Amino acid sequence: MFSRKNRRPKSPELLKAWESLDAGDLPGALRVLRAAAEEAPLAEVAQVTARAAAAAGFDDLRQAAEALAARPERAQEQYDFGYACVERGVPALAIPALGEALRQVPQSAAALRELVTAYEREDRHREAVTVLSAREETLADWPDRYLLAYNALMSGDLDLARRQHDLLSDPAADPDDRVWLPARDRQRAMLQRAASAAQASPLDGTDLRGWQYVMGGTLLGTLSPFGFDAGMNGRYAWLQDSYDLCLRGLLRLKAVLEATGVRPDAVALLPDRDSHVLGLAAAEVLGLPARPFEGAEPGTVVVAHDLNELAGTERGPEILAALRERAPGQVLHEHASCWTDPPAVAADSVGLLHQHLTAPWAERMRLDENGEVGRSPADDRPAAELAAEITGADPTPDEGDGSAPADPPARLTDLATAVADTWLRGPRDGLRSAGPVPSSRFA
């Protein structure tokens, strides 16, 4: 048993985390831990992590943390702690321990791969590229060189990504490597999409729409006009959605279909209420008949309000599984997609990206006549009436705060035209990263 487990840490930042645990505030302690992990002594990080893990009921992480706190100089304990942190969803705490383990045992493929995994989970792809590039001459193709190509792509370095991808051996040639075939195909598709998108999009550090297409084959309809120069880069944070935004997203979908020459024959209505409302409005906007979703129907536009909300319904997992494998000519449109918790499938068209969103007809925050914050009740009118609110809304773009560049429809349709030959291909794999365009996150 680790004899110092109840001793208060000396690091001022970690002492704050310890006091948060004293107060029963586990999320607050973890926020402090994440911020301090790479500067504080490893033994003290492990000490506080052990206590947090015990509070969360994570015995594996508690045991690994106690072992590291007792023997912080040992590479095996560093690796075990890092591995447990990654498995328990706190990769930021894993990075300093795994980095030290790799420094002590530089030939360790296990430590290298686990460190790269931790960097990936934190969207720190450039650092993953750095640690892999330092060992380029000794990398195994699968998974190491593949990981170098992938992280180069996710950090925006297309030249390095292409060069490393082209060096990869065929994973089908070795039975041990065949498990990597889907990853190879997914990466190849991303590079093909990048080549087509580059005809109409800069693919630089602020090109959210271009990179969203490269990563997931998604054409992003609108960009947030708020906080662009304050770190949002076109994504919304906390958004109370509006009928106007719903209509604007559907009109952008219509423009994409016209630009790419895709002519669906019906709108497929999903069973959750939010999607049903939006689907009825989409049928009106697109001039198509609407019918219930029946699985992998070719030639339909499947309209979702928020795929994560759909996933939480009784039929949600079954529907998402059916949508992952693309039916010929089928288009999946998601109005509001969460970028901090991406859905299991990447839609072909997305109206906007958000961190947290409230639907226009849901219970909402409001200011009363005295300036007090209150809640307005949910609108329980029939779906057809809410859909009529969407089709009768004003799609004029919000001027925002003046920080964002203009986003006329032509920016989207020019990209859609350029990528028409690579759009609507392959499975709809969910996104695993925010990619090369960062945005501020809010706890």
Reported as a single tens digit per residue, the pLDDT across 155-186 is: 999 999 999 999 999 999 999 999 999 999 99
Clarify whether residues 27 and 157 are in a common domain. Answer: yes
The range of the structural domain enclosing residue 344 comes to: 198-418
Same domain, 111 and 42: yes
Cα separation of the two ends of the chain: 35
Domain boundary among 148, 167, 187: 187
What average pLDDT does the segment 316-320 reach? Answer: 96
Inform me whether the pLDDT recorded for 32 exceeds 90. Answer: yes
Q: Please check whether residues 220 and 351 belong to one and the same domain.
A: yes
| Predicted pLDDT of residue 368 | 62
Looking at 150, 165, 187, the residue that finishes a domain is 187
Rounded Cα gap, residues 256 and 39, in angstroms: 48
Does 425 map to a domain? no
pLDDT for the residue 6: 62
Strands 331-338 and 349-354 turn out to be parallel
- Does residue 299 lie in a domain region? yes
Q: With respect to residue 193, please indicate whether it lies within any of the assigned structural domains.
A: no
Does 1 reside within a domain?
no
| For range 88-100, the mean pLDDT | 98
Say whether both 383 and 239 belong to one domain. yes
Instruction: Tell me if 314 is assigned to some domain.
Output: yes
Whether residue 407 is found in the same domain as residue 345? yes
What is the overall mean pLDDT for the chain?
95
| 49, two tokens | 């992590």
pLDDT of residue 374: 73
Question: 166 and 30, same structural domain?
Answer: yes
Q: Is residue 95 part of a domain?
A: yes
* Residue 318, domain member (yes or no): yes
Q: How confident is the model at residue 89 (pLDDT cuts 50, 70, 90)?
A: very high
Q: Which of 96, 3, 12, 100 is nearest to 50 (CA)?
A: 3
Distance CA 299, CA 266 (A): 7
Say what the pTM is: 0.94
Q: Of 187, 219, 250, which one is at a domain's C-terminal end?
A: 187
Q: How many domains does the chain have?
A: 2
CATH of the domain at 235: 3.40.50
- Tell me, yes or no, whether 139 and 231 share the same domain: no
Is there a single domain that holds both residue 273 and residue 371? yes
**Residue 430, phi-psi category: left (phi > 0), alpha (psi -120 to 50), beta (remainder):** beta
CATH code for the domain in which residue 33 is found: 1.25.40
Same domain, yes or no, for 202 and 254?
yes
> For position 376, what pLDDT does the model report?
86
Whole-angstrom CA distances from 397 to 122, 141, 145, 210 are 33, 47, 44, 20
- Buried b / exposed e across 291-310, counting CB within 10 Å, b at 16+? eebeeebeebbbbbbbbbbb
What is residue 441's predicted lDDT score, i.e. its pLDDT?
84
Whether residues 100 and 248 fall in one domain: no
Same domain, 236 and 371: yes
β-pair partners for 367: 373
Res 443: pLDDT = 62
Model confidence at 4: pLDDT above 60 = no
Domain for residue 2, yes or no?
A: no
Question: Are 167 and 228 found together in one domain?
Answer: no
Note the pLDDT of residue 8: 87
